[in-house]
Amino acid sequence: MSDRAPEVERWLAWRYLATRQREGFVSFIAIFSLIGVALGVATLIVVLSVMGGFREQLLARIVGMNGHIVVTAREGMLKATPELLAKLQALPGATAVRPTLERQALVSVHGQTRGALLRGVPREDLLNREIVSGNIVQGNLADFGDKPGVVVGERLRQSLMLRVGDMLTVVTHRLNENGTIAPRYTDYEVLATFLTRRYEFDSALIFMPLAMLQEDLEYGPDAVSSIDVFLKDPAAAPRLAQELRQSLGRDDLRISHWLGLNARFVGALQVERVMMFIILTLIVVVAAMNVVASFTMLVRVKRGSIAILRTMGATPRTIVRAFFMAAAAVGLVGTVIGTGLGLLVCANMPAIGRLLSTITGAAGSGGAEVDFITSMPVRVQAVEVTSIVAVAIVLSLIAAAYPAWRSTRIEPVEGLRHE
């Protein structure tokens, strides 16, 4: 009997899961419990993957405009000497070193004036800056650096009613020999516009050639506001920034990293990620409670069968394992189905978005809502999927434990008395 105990337990578990006449309603609840677990797991995977995609997109826009490590001077302008640039380039994991000159200014055209941030960069840096070169709305970057021209944010262009080819007046200031401040007016041609979908960039940022801005502001060829260092691994920025401070050993430099500069924003994203995981896990918890309820009812319905099995020599351990296997199977199968469904939805998110737009009749409108759904970013992380599966399995096993324990509380005499 002991050699065949596992086989008997599996057979009993299957019998408990099968729909019979009296316990048909119980099996019906178990089926919906399985569906609930599957939908909960699928929802967790889809929502966290979409949120991960948006989070990655937001961080890419932040880092796309600024480096992973930013070197500035504690006072005044920074001198981007060849020696300093060479040391930064030699930093392990560094992929690019980009000197940048920034200056607040007023821009005026067609009788309208707006505040703007001038950012002078070398031509090759702007061409390699994917967040700008890959999001050009009007014009092109072919003439950038060859003539007095600028690249402006699309929202700024709209607010000033500019067109590519228009002349834009930039108003800065200079300090006269007698200590007074005098305005400086310079005209530039609008070469192109970009749209990063970050308001602070699109509404105020203007790119222009670094050498041209240095000349217009009467700075030396080495004068910059900051030097951006881009890394292969953004997560290594805090460690490499500390190594850079030690290797340079210069008190006149301030070395920051993108996680420190955006600590509140990154922290808010992390808190939101954890809270969303906890909230959505409640869906799986509710489904697990249904497993507890349905199999607790099944134990009451089957108390006569349990009593008969006990009188025939079945041990309490055999009964416990049979009920545990039956209840756990609902959660485990639901987890497997939910994982597959969630990954399938993530893999076909654009197609699903187009299908939804067709069903709702919005396919031909081309509105922002349709574009938002069809271009929804998805980033499936193995760690997140593994965590979701692990949580669902643990909850399923916990849910299966109580009905299994209840089955041991039925004495054969009490069970047969009601038959």
Q: Where are the domains of the chain?
A: 5-58+266-417, 78-224
Query: Comparing 286 with 179, which gets the higher pLDDT?
Result: 286
- Predicted local distance difference test score (pLDDT) of residue 192: 92
Pairing mode, strands 181-194 and 149-153: parallel
Cβ density class 230-254: b for 16+ within 10 Å, e for less: bbeebebbeebbeebeeebeeeebe
Query: Comparing 271 with 372, which gets the higher pLDDT?
Result: 271
Would you say residue 374 has pLDDT above 60?
no
Would you say residue 400 has pLDDT above 50?
yes
User: Which secondary structure element, helix H or strand E, spans residue 95, and what is its range?
Assistant: strand 94-109
User: What stretches of 18-93 adopt beta strand conformation (E)?
Assistant: 69-73, 78-79
- Predicted local distance difference test score (pLDDT) of residue 173: 78
**Tell me, what amino acid is at 187?**
D
Query: Comparing 265 with 87, which gets the higher pLDDT?
Result: 87
Q: How far apart are CA 41 and CA 336, in angstroms?
A: 9
Q: Which band of pLDDT confidence, cut at 50, 70 and 90, is reported for residue 67?
A: confident
Query: Comparing 100 with 364, which gets the higher pLDDT?
Result: 100
Q: How many CA atoms are closer than 13 Å to the CA of 400, on its beta-carbon side?
A: 23
- Predicted local distance difference test score (pLDDT) of residue 193: 92
| Average pLDDT score over residue span 338-357 | 82
Count of other CB atoms within 10 angstroms of residue 266: 17
Q: Which band of pLDDT confidence, cut at 50, 70 and 90, is reported for residue 11?
A: low
Report pLDDT digits (tens) over 221-239.
888 998 989 888 888 888 8
Would you say residue 365 has pLDDT above 60?
no
Closest Cα partner for 68 from 108, 96, 46, 104? Answer: 96
DSSP designation for 164: T
Q: What is the pTM of this model?
A: 0.65
Query: Comparing 114 with 306, which gets the higher pLDDT?
Result: 114
Query: Comparing 7 with 280, which gets the higher pLDDT?
Result: 280
Q: Which band of pLDDT confidence, cut at 50, 70 and 90, is reported for residue 130?
A: confident
| Average pLDDT score over residue span 260-278 | 83
- Predicted local distance difference test score (pLDDT) of residue 407: 62
- Predicted local distance difference test score (pLDDT) of residue 282: 84
Q: Which band of pLDDT confidence, cut at 50, 70 and 90, is reported for residue 148?
A: confident
- Predicted local distance difference test score (pLDDT) of residue 54: 81
| Average pLDDT score over residue span 341-366 | 72
Count of other CB atoms within 10 angstroms of residue 300: 16
List the structure tokens of 80. 């981007």
Percent of the chain with pLDDT over 70: 77
Mean pLDDT score of the chain, rounded to an integer?
Answer: 79
Greatest mean pLDDT range, 251-255, 302-306, 363-367: 251-255
Would you say residue 28 has pLDDT above 80?
no
Would you say residue 415 has pLDDT above 60?
no
Report pLDDT digits (tens) over 36-59.
888 889 988 988 888 888 887 777
